[in-house]
Amino acid sequence: MIKIFICPKCYNFRMVSRKPSAECYHCDANLVKTELEYTTYMDMSEEERNAFKENFKNRMLSYNEKLRDILAVEEKVR
């Protein structure tokens, strides 16, 4: 199953197959898995992808301070 990952530094998309994590081709940062399915991503227009990127960027910026809390919550969910 192919998942869509995004770079938290340069915000490039990357398709990743059967791997839980991946690094960015451009800046070697650990990529973040998005909620996008491969088919959803393929159906998106360039504009929609850019909108998603912007949205992700804003979320990353606002979450940055709370990142530690979020990771702690995710640990509990697992």
Complex with Zn ion: residue 27 or 42, whichever CB lies closer: 27
CB of residue 72 to Zn ion, shortest distance in Å: 25
Q: Where are the beta strands (DSSP E) in the chain?
A: 2-6, 13-17, 32-37
List residues near Zn ion by CB under 5 A. Answer: 7, 9-10, 24, 26-27, 29
- The phi-psi region of residue 28 (left if phi > 0; otherwise alpha if psi is between -120 and 50; otherwise beta) is left
CB of residue 47 to Zn ion, shortest distance in Å: 21
Amino acid at 14: R
Complex with Zn ion: residue 55 or 72, whichever CB lies closer: 55
